[in-house]
Structure 1
Amino acid sequence: MTSTVCNPTTTPSSHPSFLFPQITSCKTIRDLHQVHAHFIKTRQIHDPLAAAEILRFYALSTHRSIQCARSVFTQMEKPNYFSWNTIIRALAESSVNDHSLDALFFFSQMVADGSVEPNKFTFPSVLKACAKMGNLEVGKCVHGMAVKFGLETDGFVVSNLVRMYVMCEVMEDANLLFSRSVGDFGVLNGRKQEGNVVLWNVIVDGCVRVGDFRAARELFDKMPHRSVVSWNAMISGYAQNGFLKEAVEMFRDMQIGNVCPNYVTLVSVLPAISRLGALELGKWIHLYANKNGIGIDDVLGSALVDMYCKCGSIEKALLVFEQLPKRNVITWNAIISGLAMHGRVEDALDYFSKMEQAGVLPSDVTYIGILSACSHAGLVEKGRSFFNHMVNVVGLEPRIEHYGCMVDLLGRAGLLEEAEELILNMPIQPDDVTWKALLGACKMQGNIDMGKRVAEILMDLAPRDSGSYIALSNMYASMGNWEEVAKVRLRMKDMDIRKDPGGSSIELDGAIHEFVVEDDSHPRAGEIHSMLEEISEKLSLEGHRPNTTQVLLNMDEEEKQSALRCHSEKIATAFGLISTAAQTTLRIVKNLRICEDCHSSIKLISKIYKRKIVVRDRKRFHHFENGLCSCKDYW
């Protein structure tokens, strides 16, 4: 095999890829090794074009090997600009953090060598390395060099400069560059302004990163042209920062704008759908993925399993899980936690065993799911056993969440002293969530003395959190000590601390309807009120008596009964009954723990109206059917 020299003025058919078909035909890294070895044996590797093509395939193809690419590059006598750019790009794009530093090292070597100058293909990769490292100082030096080489107006260089400043959270400089580039874009590289989607995407993403969603949305709305990446940036930003309804609305607007969601879109919006409990929309996304050939891998599969679990369809979650061709630890965690949340404790423990049999090592998140399952079922000994196994056998360091689960497990079982002792002897500082678990248990078990002590600790630990004040107030109210209730309420008023309002939502025909206590703002409020009256009458005929001990306010019995009737989950249930066909399952999401009266009422409603009613409260799912609940009244 003879060496081939390429004329720089040759036609595209003379591109190195065409000159060395034996390289492009490689199917595996082993094939590439064989071709590489042959090139060395025949001395063809000394042909700059052949070496550059071998380097390119090692560095950038699907068979990439950074180690081999570096070896090829370091043996080149005089690398051309193409080879320098290839190795720098490969290192900058690598998922290994240290490789970004190596990319900067090779760039400095390129500059020091002086035989070739960095060009418009060099700087984007170098800036990407600076951005990944968050190295502002080096990034500014590279910016200066780009100006020196007259590349400050190149579209790709500018985009990566803006991204570098964004990743370093220097939004002032990023905005300055962006504004200048957008203003001048009519003359940059012959492009039109609307063509610079990448630059707009970068600056929108930057605003999202620093949490300035108002600016991000304003920029997004002004974009002359949007790609699917533009939409994904906003959807994922909203979803990850708790703007759930905004994420879903953006997803719907995306479809109205005739932009097809892709894999990233689905993975981004599913967590928001999960937290909202919007099952119908989640089903639509699952169907969309199947219809459009979007592969449901372990990542998308995990998101779908989590969505079905959190939207109340545990059977569908199990079906998706079983059909996945590949499962990772996140997928297993999703199904185990989901089963625990739905009170399917034995199934959760069974899937934990299957996970171990499949050779998947459980993570700390796995044990949070298992301990939660034990807590929901009151399995104290099993919970202790799993906690000890995690620490002493698997060797995982318990996180604050594990201790919180154990406190919840012990407290629900009435072992308050043991739960308090566990908190006091924790090797890490207990947080407010851990103390709240004990406070909730004190309220449940009626231990007022410990409850007051824990509430005071919480008030010192999280003085602006209304939860501890409300819990203490409720404890005094349950004793009829209205004087102490007034003191706590006055303390809240003086500190301008307000109680989080209880709220419930229900999804119908893809729309989410939200309700709060005594809500009369819905367009069908009159019909809802009539249904609430009907429900009250039918409950009374069934022998139900409102549990007015749940109304911890100083009012007469009739007022207390009226207040109970207008709890948000009852309003959502009434709305569901008047809005759906007979036997349709109602799925309700509540932001707080369901109260005892609503729990007993909805059990009877499921029997009276022959409906399955699924309620997701702050802690778990309750599946009401034929007068019974899946939690067996232990929650």
Structure 2
Amino acid sequence: MQRSTLPLGQLIPHLLRSCVFFHQLKQIHGLLLTSSLSLSPTLSSLLLRRATELGSMPYAERLFSSPLHPPHVLLHNAMIRGYAHHGPYENALHLFDEMPLRGLAPNSFTYPYLISACARLGSSGFGKKLHCRVIKDGFDGVPVIGSSLLNFYLELDMSDARRVFDGLALKSVGLWNKMIAEYVNFGDINSAREVFDGMPERDVVSWNAMFSGYVKSKYVEEAKELFQRMPKKDIVSWTAMVRALADSGDLRGARKLFDEMPERNVVSWNCMLASYTQNGKFRQALDLFLRMRSEKVAPDGYTAVSALSACAHLGDLKIGKWIHFNLINSGLRLEAIIGTSLVEMYSKCGDIDRALLTFLKMITKDVFCWNVMIKALAMHGKCADAMKLFALLKRESLVLNDYTFMGILFACSHGGLVEEGKKIFDSMEREFRVRPKIEHFGCLIDMLCRDGRVEEAKRVIKEMPYKPDIAIWGALLGGCRVSNDVVSINKANGMRLRVLERRWKMEKFGRALDVVLFLRDADAAL
């Protein structure tokens, strides 16, 4: 190994920057101690700073309190920085209070870390005192301090942050962009545009920040206007505009813009794919996916989810299997979201055995994946297996939700497991703190009616905290027909028709009237 020709004092900073292991730091510390360089505040502060960066605050504290090191602002700054990043944050403030007692005055490197510590503590009082001290010491024109103060006030109040921002003597493009982004996140698009229009110069991030605000707020026309004005559009701008058009329902315009993009990455493709699947254009989604593969674009998990969703809705098991074996098995990790999409695809395409096998092979499964598998088993008549899976789910450290109970109650209803279903329904709020919704009551009523327990179903309808909807009246009607209760049939059918008519009056379109007339004629025929 070639020896360095640098003097030891110049070599140590390089060694500290390249130091990644704690034992290396100790060796450098020993090197300092065996030389007169240990008295150098600059080198000692660099050693102290590196100790905090490696996450060893106790070791840093021992270095800081060493009697070999006289008080120096560099050492205090390094230690304050360490506390501001790793905590305890209040220790940074305590060190600042000690500085005058040790005859030290803070400098422009001290305040940014102190202000950061205040922001993390949520200490508005101390932070505002620091702001006054910054002004008194004449550091309010230092850009890094101004940026720290802005970040601090952004955590407290947008109006105060705006006053700080307006008062900054020097504002970088990054600070302007940050204010725009904060207003966008806050939902104040008008203020964001005001800041944007006041910028002395803009970069592509500025345009994208303002543009994304319009897209997020669904101001499509304003987004179009800004998109046309952008002097330089990057791939983020093009993709956001595609998303804006798709979200507004203009899928044709979105696809046209997508085809016009000078370059596309996987995010662009995923945006168009997701737009198709979310709008029910599953054939177009699969066609686009196949084109994506023909152009040798490497897919990711989001690609697989959109393509699998399209296969599930189209019942295209062939392409679904192809996606599974040629994409996921060739590199993509079988994460919960992809695994859930596979389970749903196989189930909806009729291959419940492959769906269950995929589920069992998954290493990581979230509650949504369990929900899909339980519902899939129930849909395919494997209600006993759904019950076994539900029993296994209760042993997992997962929080069950209302979809979990919808799936298992559906299984109980279609499997004739009435008593088990009633127990599960009763346990929802008592054991799992899931308040039953009207859909859960609908499952319970359907379950009772399928078993011929119409009177019990009527009591549930009377006592439930919801107004019966068309699904509940339909379930009761089915139960009444099974028991041949003519009076109840007429009553349930009348209530169901009134619900449909009420729905039609609330809608703008006349399609619901056709449904009402069709059901009325069908019931008359019965």
TM-score by length of 1: 0.59
Task: Report if aligned partners of 1:410, 1:419 keep a CA contact under 8 Å in 2.
Answer: yes
Inter-partner Cα distance in structure 2 for 1:28 and 1:476: 81
Any gaps of 5 or more consecutive residues in structure 1? Answer: 1-15, 59-65, 92-98, 186-192, 479-635
The CA deviation at 1:217 is 2.2
- Of stretches 359-368 and 434-443 in structure 1, the one that deviates more from structure 2 is 434-443
The answer to whether 1:150 aligns with 2:200 is yes
Q: Is the Cα contact below 8 Å between 1:443 and 1:451 reproduced in 2?
A: no
2:429 is the counterpart of 1:381: no
Distance 2:424 2:216 in 1: 41
Describe the shift of the 1:421–1:457 C-alpha distance in structure 2 as closer, same or farther (beyond 3 A).
Answer: farther
1:470 maps to which of 495, 499, 518 = 518
Q: Give the one of 161, 182, 203 matched to 1:129.
A: 182
Q: Which residue of 2 aligns with 1:516?
A: none
Instruction: Pick the aligned partner of 2:498 from 425, 439, 457.
Output: 457
**Alignment correspondent of 2:448:** 410
Contact 2:150 2:161 (C-alpha < 8 Å) held by counterparts: yes
Aligned equivalent of 1:111, options 165, 175, 180: 165
Report the equivalent of 1:507. Answer: none
Tell me the distance in 2 between the aligned counterparts of 1:108 and 1:375. Answer: 58
The one-letter code sitting in structure 1 at the alignment partner of 2:175 is T
Where 1:325 maps in the other structure, the secondary structure is coil
For the residues of structure 2 that align with 1:268 and 1:36, how far apart are their CA atoms? 50
Q: 1:316 to 1:388 in 2, by over 3 A?
A: same
Unaligned runs of 5+ in 2: 1-12, 23-49, 66-71, 89-114, 505-510
CA contact (8 A) 2:457 2:476 kept: yes
The alpha-carbon deviation at position 173 of structure 1 amounts to 1.5
Residue 333 of structure 1, aligned match among 356, 367, 371: 371
Say if 1:391 and 1:398, in contact at 8 Å, map to a contact too.
yes
Instruction: Tell me how far apart the structure 2 counterparts of residues 87 and 328 of structure 1 sit (CA, whole Å).
Output: 41
Partner of 1:158: helix, strand, or coil?
Answer: helix
* Residue type at the aligned position of 1:287: F
Residue 311 of structure 1: which of 336, 343, 349 is its match?
A: 349
The residue type paired with residue 325 of structure 2 is L
Q: Distance in 1 between matches of 2:224 and 2:63?
A: 50
Q: Which has the larger radius of gyration?
A: 2
Contact 1:131-1:164 within 8 A present in 2 as well: yes
Aligned partner (choices 216, 222, 226) of residue 167 of structure 1: 216
User: Which of 269, 277, 286 does residue 239 from structure 1 map onto?
Assistant: 277
Match of 2:405 in 1: 367
For the structure 1 residues 212 and 27, does the alpha-carbon distance in structure 2 shift closer, same or farther, using more than 3 Å as the test? farther
Give the superposition deviation at 1:37.
5.5
Q: Taking every aligned residue pair, what percent have the same amino acid on both sides?
A: 29
Aligned twin of 1:189: none
Aligned equivalent of 2:340: 302
Residues 21 and 113 from structure 1, CA distance in 2 versus in 1: closer, same or farther, beyond 3 angstroms? Answer: farther
The structure with higher relative contact order (CA 8 Å, sep 6+) is 1
Name the CA distance, whole Å, in 2 between partners of 1:67 and 1:334. 44
Question: Residues 237 and 419 (structure 1 numbering): CA distance in 2 closer, same or farther, change over 3 Å?
Answer: farther
Report the CA distance between 1:100 and its aligned residue: 7.8
User: How far apart, in 1, do the equivalents of 2:169 and 2:16 lie?
Assistant: 26
> What letter is aligned with 1:401?
E
Deviation at 1:372, TM superposition (A): 0.2
Shift of 1:431: 3.1
In structure 1, how many angstroms separate the alpha carbons of the residues matched to 2:521 and 2:244? Answer: 44
Question: Whose helix proportion is higher, 1 or 2?
Answer: 2
Q: 1:293 to 1:229 in 2, by over 3 A?
A: same
Structure 1 counterpart of 2:502, one-letter code: L
User: 3-state DSSP class of the match of 2:173?
Assistant: coil
Q: Helix, strand or coil: the match of 1:307?
A: helix
Aligned length: 433
Quick one: distance in 1 between partners of 2:51 and 2:373?
A: 37
Kept after mapping to 2: 8 A contact 1:333/1:365: yes
Q: Is the 8 A contact 1:103 1:126 kept in 2?
A: no
Inter-partner Cα distance in structure 2 for 1:254 and 1:149: 39
Say what the alpha-carbon RMSD is for the aligned residues.
4.1
- Does residue 251 (structure 1) correspond to residue 289 (structure 2)? The answer is yes
> What's the secondary structure of 1:31's corresponding residue?
coil
Is contact 1:298-1:326 (8 Å) kept?
yes
User: TM-score, normalising length from structure 2?
Assistant: 0.70
| Structure 1 segment 413-562 matched on structure 2, within 5 A | 413-441=451-479, 448-450=489-491, 452-463=493-504, 464-465=511-512, 466-478=514-526
User: 1:34: how far off?
Assistant: 5.8
